[in-house]
Amino acid sequence: MRYHSVCLESFGYTLPEQIVTSTQIEAELSPLYERLKLPAGRLELITGIGERRFWDRGTIASDISVQSANKAINAADIDRRQIGALVHGSVCRDHLEPATACRVHHLLGLDPHCQIYDLSNACLGLLNGMVQVANMIELGQIRAGLVVGTENSRPLVENTIQALNTDTSLTRQAIKSAVASLTIGSASCAVLLVDRELSRTDNRIMGGVSRAETTHHGLCHSGQDEAGDQMRPLMDTDSEALMEAGIATGRESFVDFLQTLGWGPEHVTKTFCHQVGTAHRKRMLETLGLELTKDYSTVESLGNTGSVALPISMAIGIENGHLVKNDHAALLGIGSGVNCLMLGIDWQSEPPIAAEQREPASALTEGG
């Protein structure tokens, strides 16, 4: 896919105040650790994740998504009536129905003609939403579109801890499928895309590729479909097999990506990849022949924030100067299924309003 008229105009993101360290999680897992004689520090050593964040109990996705969306709209200084599509793309949502996008649309005060819906595709939801909005803009159906999502990790992490502590039949081998669930963090991000004629940044989305290797769909899955703050999810993840399948899919996708955009590896000056863990990130970039210093990482301090992980890493990276004028940025998205989606951005500048209103640069993590 190639685009000529679509710009990535602005971001808005929101983070929970409560920080939960891997040390704290291990303390809560003391019954399991004592029974299996597991060494302290194992969780951070395996994943590279020192901490993640939780929303307050009772927080619903739409409330936080509205905050992030308003930040993106205000940063771009755009007339809300020009936003013709709203996609809520996170795994977490308020209800099975209506769409969480309905409440977000209402609280944002968007136009009644704005198309709204939820989109779910594991860790690729927000990126998929960006593609759909970009398609609508390229076709001339809308002038601007907003993609937003909020992931809530607390129910999954707390339920996983309870299950690990109470099931005394578990062995060291058996608990491996639960480790990925303990890395999940909470966060929210919004991305505003606009027609190039409306843009004040000229940050063009050049195009991208997608790939579905669904023979691997069973490597990571939850239980039954649930929604809202009363959900009691559990995940079963073959982390090692999922990493290998994801890297193989990423390698094939990256070849197509470069060919589609007419780029060579040397044209990719900056990257933002899906944030699962430090080992996965390192292996993926090395496999693609990309330098670690070109990438911006947040996984160490935010954990794996699902569909929000890649866009919020880009948003924070921009705040911290990771992108400069004329950078060619590659967005390298990989999700369970296994699905891959990569987009190329010709970066020029951030919205003037965002620069004026910026708070001091975030110290969440370091790029590379």
Angle between the 278-287 and 239-261 helix axes, to the nearest 10 degrees? 40
Q: Which residues of 63-78 are buried (b: 16+ CB within 10 A; e: fewer)?
A: bbbbbbbbbbbebbeb
Q: Kindly state whether residue 302 falls inside one of the protein's structural domains.
A: yes
> Between the CA atoms of 321, 322, 323 and 327, what dihedral angle is there, to the nearest 10 degrees?
140
Q: Does 137 reside within a domain?
A: no
Copy the structure tokens of residue 192: 């505003």
Question: Is 207 inside a domain boundary?
Answer: yes
Identify the bridge partners of residue 147 per DSSP, sorted by sequence position. 87, 191
Q: Are 186 and 153 in contact (CB under 8 A)?
A: yes
One-letter amino acid for residue 100 of the chain: T
Strand partners, 187: 151
**Residues recognised as catalytic:** 97, 123
The residues, ordered by sequence, that sit 6+ positions from 347 with a Cβ below 8 Å of its Cβ are 203, 270, 323, 324, 325, 326, 327, 328, 329
**Pairing of the two strands 144-151 and 83-88:** parallel
b/e per residue 339-352 (b: at least 16 CB within 10 A): bbbbbbbbbbebbe
State the Cα–Cα distance between residues 53 and 302, nearest whole angstrom: 6
Separation CA 346–CA 330 (nearest Å): 9
Query: Is position 179 within any domain?
Result: no
Joined tokens for residue 71: 């930040």
Print the domain residue range for 264. Answer: 200-351
Q: What is the pTM of this model?
A: 0.88
State the pLDDT at residue 356.
52
Based on the number of CB atoms within 10 Å of its own CB, is 140 exposed (0-12), middle (13-18) or buried (19 or more)?
exposed
Q: Mean pLDDT per 10-residue run, the chain (368 residues)? A: 96 97 96 94 92 95 98 95 97 91 97 96 92 97 98 93 92 86 95 96 94 56 50 54 68 88 94 83 87 93 94 96 95 81 93 58 49
DSSP 262-308: T--GGG--EEEE--S-HHHHHHHHHHTT--GGGBB--HHHH-B-GGG
- Beta 83-88 vs 115-118: how paired, if at all? parallel
Q: Is residue 321 part of a domain?
A: yes
Asked if residue 17 belongs to a domain, the reply is no
Please state the domain count of the chain.
1
Q: Is-contact 353 76, C-beta < 8 A?
A: yes
User: Is 86 part of a structural domain of the chain?
Assistant: no
β-partners of residue 191 are 11, 147
What distance, in Å, lies between the first and last C-alpha atoms of the chain?
A: 29
What 3-state class would DSSP assign to 143?
coil
Q: How far is CA 183 from CA 28, 138, 157, 218, 363, in A?
A: 14, 37, 8, 20, 20
On whether residue 63 sits in a domain, the answer given is no
We report the CATH number of the domain holding residue 267 as: 3.40.47.10
pLDDT at 254: 87
